[in-house]
Chains A and B, each alone.
Chain A
């Protein structure tokens, strides 16, 4: 085999006394897409950071073109042509797209910035990505998926020989992902080596040439992708057969009462006249494209966003929700999709995070820290949160453990209605299964769940009924046999269901998004 572009031999990494990678080998050939998969906490991120020069391995070697990589600083790996695209964006929010693309290596003419050249190069690379973003737009005004594209454009605009992508499609729509895959294939044909991580195994199957599986910091297998099925990859990741990802549905009783009803909800710029009802023991799915207004509807209901019209009733009684506190008092809890930005205090420990939502239940005047500690012990067991010690900052936990902690935090208020928004975003299949079981159990015991998700299998596998939204409007509520992928997509894309023509002149970020998704 030819000399690999990038190779790691017996790489070990320890943080303090804890070894998180145990002698891992990994190579990327010229013109190869190499998938790196594993559960959260398997060591993927650490390995990627070592490959891209951010972390120095404790032992073992990394070679670029057969030469040892120097770890003298962040820039050195990039100078060798190894570029990492972070899952958490590394963009300066207040700068424009083009300023971000050239940040740190601005083109100059003499002592001055060559703005025209940078604009042209930015336009060219954005066009190649089929990304209709204005290079002069400020990054803070962009949607999450557009930011991801800018991050990719930034990597593309330099001489890249190895591109390392950390879950690039987690926030992209189907169409955007397809554009990205086209680009990945073109780069591969040009001889670029690509390291690709994703929890979406269908993507891994579709676009990668080889798969390396990590589990608990160990190298488990490296095989040609063609030899593996999705199920086979999942089994290697988890180390056991994945049986029944979704528990068998338990429909709510035929006479189950309506616990929450929403009518004519308007959230300016996002949602128009949305309504639905939720019954006891029911899991109500909310499907739609990114930007369809599902999150905004939920946040409007909960007092987290301004709502201009609409009524709510809880168990048949009118319910006024002006702030999130009112919703919590009415037994409604919300799990945000943005666990790092809105869900958890990353610099704080597990205990203050767990009890933050329900702190008034831990003592009248003074907070009873002993009861908090006891609650944390219980939550760690009940939600299977895996941590080395309980006093680490939450930011150091893996995504799956953070998500389980966030769920535990949400459950601290003993809700009867649970609104979960993308509850399994960016987490591994084992943790997903645990969360599915939890939601199923919660509903079976008489709770009600609103499940907002962009993952179709999740919506179909868990929901008793599905509300489909498009451009801020509820286009249909599906039940029984209608709950299947084709039908949901038809409603979500406007082929079927309530028309959204009534929204003329109703321009919103949601519409803009949609347009991107369909371009």
Chain B
């Protein structure tokens, strides 16, 4: 096609502050300032390390959730899956102590079991959504109930405790670290980094956003929509498994209440981070910030004593609503 008229105006990026992009980071900065004012202990390396370590489980799960949500799905089963995988991992390791003895090999088998379960659960969710043509909400509402009941059944309504010898060997995975950085923080950082690379730099990340924006457009762009969605759920399952691997050494037990409401915390972290719940737009670093913020609120309340810790949920709720309100505002101005 020969241009009859050249494009007239200069093509420069439009300036202007993008609240959606930087909002979560500003909010985090505000929280840090607030925390410092409230109590100088807040900024101590010990406290910061503690906050980040406790963020790691939800944070890692939320990175996976970012992909599912960006692709227009949702996974409600992650909390139950975490409990179920923890339970099975503990049972398997306890059973192997007799034959293999308490040692690293037993833990490795346990880790493989957890990863295998995460992958399998992701496959089940993903296949039901894609091949079964069901809503992700319904599918994962179902598997959420199934996983939760399975762990209750395995634990016979009580608590599954890890063999104490294994626990001693496994314990440093949560409590230890290198150069003063705990392993959970390192795992969180690595998962977030890989997640960001996948989301922003690979075809898969681009395809997730395309599918979340419009499944039809994706299909008409020769994208294998089912495979991408399936992969997103598998990624989520693996993220849950990684969280389990660092969670089990923390308490060395699993019960019917393990991982309760983690799915909602993970979704909250994703939304606070600026990812759109209806899909099409995903922010990994936003998710990381969202997860950290949720733990920070708890931490700051603990440090002040001025507001009851029982009001933690209220403040988290307000922050989620404000985050979405701000997103609305920027979306409407577009």
Which A residues are within 8 Å of any B CB, using their own CB? 304, 323-325, 327-328, 334, 336, 338, 341-348, 352, 356-357, 359-360, 365-367, 380-393, 404, 409, 430, 434-435, 437-438, 441
Contacts and interface: CB of A to CB of B under 8 A. Distances in A.
Nearest first, the 5 A-B pairs at minimum CB distance are A384-B3, A366-B201, A324-B222, A342-B220, A356-B221
Contacts of B12: 389
B214 to A, nearest CB: 6
A433 to B, nearest CB: 9
Nearest to A336: B220
A434 B1 contact: yes
Contacts of A338: 216
Given A345-B213, A357-B221, A391-B14, A367 B2 contact: no
Contact of A348 (B203, B213, B223, B224): B213
Contacts of B223: 356
B9 interface: yes
Contacts of A357: 221-222
B318 interface: no
Interface string B199-213: 001110011011001
Given A359-B206, A367-B202, A384-B3, A389 B11 contact: yes
Interface string B1-24: 111110111011110000000000
B280 interface: yes
Interface in B54-77: none
A380 B222 contact: no
A130 to B, nearest CB: 32
Contacts of B13: 389-391
A356 B14 contact: no
Contacts of A327: 222
B219 interface: yes
A384 B1 contact: yes
Contact of A345 (B2, B210, B334): B210
B104 interface: no
B315 interface: no
Contacts of B325: none
A390 B220 contact: no
Interface in B212-241: 213-214, 216-224
B220 A324 contact: yes
A392 B7 CA distance: 15
A64 to B, nearest CB: 27
Contacts of A382: 1, 3
A409 B221 CA distance: 9
Given A359-B206, A367-B206, A345 B217 contact: yes
14 contacts: A341-B214, A345-B217, A345-B280, A348-B280, A357-B221, A359-B206, A367-B201, A367-B202, A367-B203, A367-B206, A381-B3, A381-B7, A387-B7, A441-B1
Interface centre among A327, A359, A383 (most CB of B within 10 A): A359
A345 B279 CA distance: 12
B5 to A, nearest CB: 7
Contacts, number: 105
A348 B281 CA distance: 9
B3 A356 contact: no
Contact of A304 (B11, B213, B220): B220
A346 B203 CA distance: 19
Interface centre among B11, B207, B220 (most CB of A within 10 A): B220
Given A367-B206, A384-B1, 11 more contacts: A323-B224, A324-B219, A324-B222, A356-B206, A357-B222, A359-B203, A383-B1, A384-B2, A385-B7, A390-B13, A437-B2
A239 B260 CA distance: 68
A334 B217 CA distance: 12
Interface residues of B, number: 34
Contacts of A336: 220
Contact of B1 (A325, A391, A409, A438): A438
A386 B10 CA distance: 11
Nearest to A366: B201
Nearest to B201: A366
Contacts of A304: 219-220
Contacts of A388: 9, 11
Contacts of A356: 206, 210, 217-218, 221, 223
Contacts of A323: 222, 224
Contacts of B206: 352, 356, 359, 367
B199 to A, nearest CB: 11
A381 B7 CA distance: 8
Interface in B164-213: 197, 201-203, 206-207, 209-210, 213
B280 A347 contact: yes
A342 B216 contact: yes
Given A367-B203, A386-B5, A341 B210 contact: no
B220 A360 contact: no
A328 B2 CA distance: 26
A389 B11 CA distance: 4
A387 B220 contact: no
A459 B14 CA distance: 41
Contacts of B281: 347
Contacts of B3: 381-382, 384
A354 to B, nearest CB: 11
Given A359-B206, A386-B5, A386-B8, A334 B220 contact: yes
A384 B4 contact: yes
A434 B9 contact: no
Contacts of A385: 7
A366 B3 CA distance: 33
Nearest to A376: B11
Contacts of B2: 384, 437
A444 to B, nearest CB: 13
A342 B223 CA distance: 12
B213 to A, nearest CB: 5
A434 B221 CA distance: 24
Nearest to B225: A323
Contact of A343 (B210, B220, B334): B220
Interface centre among B13, B203, B223 (most CB of A within 10 A): B203
B214 A345 contact: yes
Contact of B222 (A325, A366, A430): A325
Nearest to B3: A384
A380 B7 contact: yes
Nearest to A345: B213
A88 to B, nearest CB: 15
A438 B4 CA distance: 13
Nearest to A365: B202
Nearest to A325: B222
A392 B5 CA distance: 20
A177 to B, nearest CB: 27
A388 B203 CA distance: 28
A343 B217 contact: yes
A408 to B, nearest CB: 9
B123 to A, nearest CB: 21
A344 B217 contact: yes
Contacts of A393: 334
